[in-house]
Amino acid sequence: MDMKRDFYYLLINGERMESSNGGTIEAVNPATGEVIAKVAKASKEDAEKAVQAARDAFDHGKWKKTSVNKRSRVLNKIASIMRARFNELVELEILNSGKTVSTAQGQVMQAIEDFEFYAGAIVGHRGSVNNVAGQFHNYTEKEPVGVCAQIIPWNYPMMMAAWKIAPAIAVGCSVIVKPASLTPLTAIILGEICLEAGVPNGVVNIIPGSGSEVGNYLVEHQRIDKVAFTGSTPIGRDIMGKASETLKRVTLELGGKSPNIVFEDADIDAAVDGSLYGIFYNTGQSCEARSRLYVHEDIYEEFIAKFTEKTKKLQLGDPFNKGTHVGAVIDQNQLDVIDGYVKSAIADGAEILTGGKAAVIEGYENGYWYEPTVITNVTHEMKAVQEEIFGPVVVVMTFKDEKEAIKLANDTEYGLGSAIWTKDGAKATRVGSQIQAGIVMVNCPFSAFPGTPFGGYKQSGFGRELCIETLDLYTETKSIVSYYGSRPLNPFGIQ
């Protein structure tokens, strides 16, 4: 299978096909601004074909009836093929998203491990037997929810596709994946790998297209049973409203403005390094980027000096160079959004310690780059503090005690990630229990491993991905009650 191509097709019912109206999308390398391929752009007609294919595969196909052990073997086969083509997948992810090589390697590896995790998790995912008074027996069964529309973002193209596809097909669902128009390439390849591994036609369909046309069509479609969406909070609200018209199951993983709290007893060097990674990893284009940095006033001067110095040392440039730390911003529009937030902070009286403008990289002058930026002298009312910037920008402020740190951390409409740096285990537990977020990282900058629940509180959405509980989001629980008494039941007592 050739991954690098000039043209990428839709994948519907096991077949590669062009758009019904001939529409295409240009896939661009954000690091250079160059078009690297053309991609078929799905229309509503194509979306309907995908719905019919997925519906037929679910209602009349064999996948949902396939034994758990066999589905598990197929998921492991998907992972095996991905491992064999690891370097190709990494290269394609870099070309289409502008990520650094180390970032892309980590994300592709996690995508592989997701399939391996769910291959094991599905074997133990079963119903229960419940105690019922009297001569009754009750047990439950887990059944796949049906046809699932899965809408994934541009910031983690391969990894998000795996997060969505793996648990859904593990339990026997059929899926229609709409990757982001900016980064559809690895999702298309993943769909083809699923077919190669033995997933039947129609179970996995990949249809790049616009959210306003194809995405909305899927969300509103009567024959779609569930929608899983990762993306911005405003679009998540819109999807939830549209899905409610047909009472679809919905999972939403949305925006974030995650706090990063550094206490006075923290290992400062470890906190500096972890905080650096927490915001500048993936060019800050991450829903749980720790973009609000709170430092105890007693260590602020030492911390901020070290943090700013290391920020200035971050390398931008060739994404394939292992020495590059920060990759490209996804496109010009996002670059403008990031710069707009920084300018608003300056206008509001904030101070830029480093960065604060678009970067020009030798050899990559036509790409989309932004300097890693540290902003201080901010107040909590500022737009740059309250709203998700989705770029390599962090706002920094001080706090005086534990109570204030918790208050500041929770002063946001979001609740996805959070981080705590302290040597005091009791303090970490105490503070962590009061932070309104789905993820709390203690003395580490990593938030997601296969098996660890990932999801948010408040406006960051609901539902948990990447864990065993995710399987429940793609299944219905059927309760079966039977009577085993020796005499027939006569509830009304009529003789």
pTM of the model: 0.96
CA distances for 306 relative to 273, 375, 376, 471, angstroms: 9, 14, 14, 43
* Greatest CA separation for the chain: 94
Instruction: Confirm if 11 and 175 have CB atoms less than 8 A apart.
Output: no
Predicted confidence at residue 185, as pLDDT, reads 98
Predicted confidence at residue 125, as pLDDT, reads 94
467 is catalytic: no
Q: Compute the distance between CA of residue 14 and CA of residue 377 in angstroms, rounded to an integer.
A: 56
> What sign results for the dihedral spanned by CA atoms 29, 30, 35, 38?
positive
Given the residues 91, 253, 371, 388, the one annotated as active site: 253
Q: Which amino acid is at 15?
A: E
Q: Compute the distance between CA of residue 393 and CA of residue 373 in angstroms, rounded to an integer.
A: 5
Q: Which amino acid is at 144?
A: P
Predicted confidence at residue 1, as pLDDT, reads 58
Predicted confidence at residue 173, as pLDDT, reads 98
Predicted confidence at residue 4, as pLDDT, reads 78
Instruction: Kindly write down the DSSP assignment for every residue of 157-183, as one continuous string.
Output: HHHHHHHHHHHHHHTT-EEEEE--TTS
> What sign results for the dihedral spanned by CA atoms 101, 287, 389, 294?
negative
Predicted confidence at residue 3, as pLDDT, reads 74
Return the structure tokens found at 282.
């993936």
The one-digit pLDDT tens for each residue of the chain (495 residues) are: 567 799 999 999 999 999 999 999 999 999 999 999 999 999 999 999 999 999 999 999 999 999 999 999 999 999 999 999 999 999 999 999 999 999 999 999 999 999 999 999 999 999 999 999 999 999 999 999 999 999 999 999 999 999 999 999 999 999 999 999 999 999 999 999 999 999 999 999 999 999 999 999 999 999 999 999 999 999 999 999 999 999 999 999 999 999 999 999 999 999 999 999 999 999 999 999 999 999 999 999 999 999 999 999 999 999 999 999 999 999 999 999 999 999 999 999 999 999 999 999 999 999 999 999 999 999 999 999 999 999 999 999 999 999 999 999 999 999 999 999 999 999 999 999 999 999 999 999 999 999 999 999 999 999 999 999 999 999 999 999 999 999 999 999 999
Predicted confidence at residue 347, as pLDDT, reads 98
Instruction: Kindly write down the DSSP assignment for every residue of 340-372, as one continuous string.
Output: HHHHHHHHTT-EEEE--SB---TT-TTS--B--
Q: Helix 86-97 to helix 157-170 angle, to the nearest 10 degrees?
A: 130
Instruction: Confirm if 387 and 397 have CB atoms less than 8 A apart.
Output: no
Given the residues 194, 287, 371, 465, the one annotated as active site: 287
> What sign results for the dihedral spanned by CA atoms 341, 347, 351, 357?
positive
Q: Compute the distance between CA of residue 248 and CA of residue 245 in angstroms, rounded to an integer.
A: 8
Within a 10 A sphere around the Cβ of 246, how many other Cβ atoms?
14
Q: Compute the distance between CA of residue 53 and CA of residue 15 in angstroms, rounded to an integer.
A: 11
* b/e burial code for range 211-225 (CB count within 10 A of at least 16 → b): beebbbbbbbbeebb
Alpha carbons within 13 A on the beta-carbon side of 279: 33
444 is catalytic: no
Within a 10 A sphere around the Cβ of 492, how many other Cβ atoms?
6
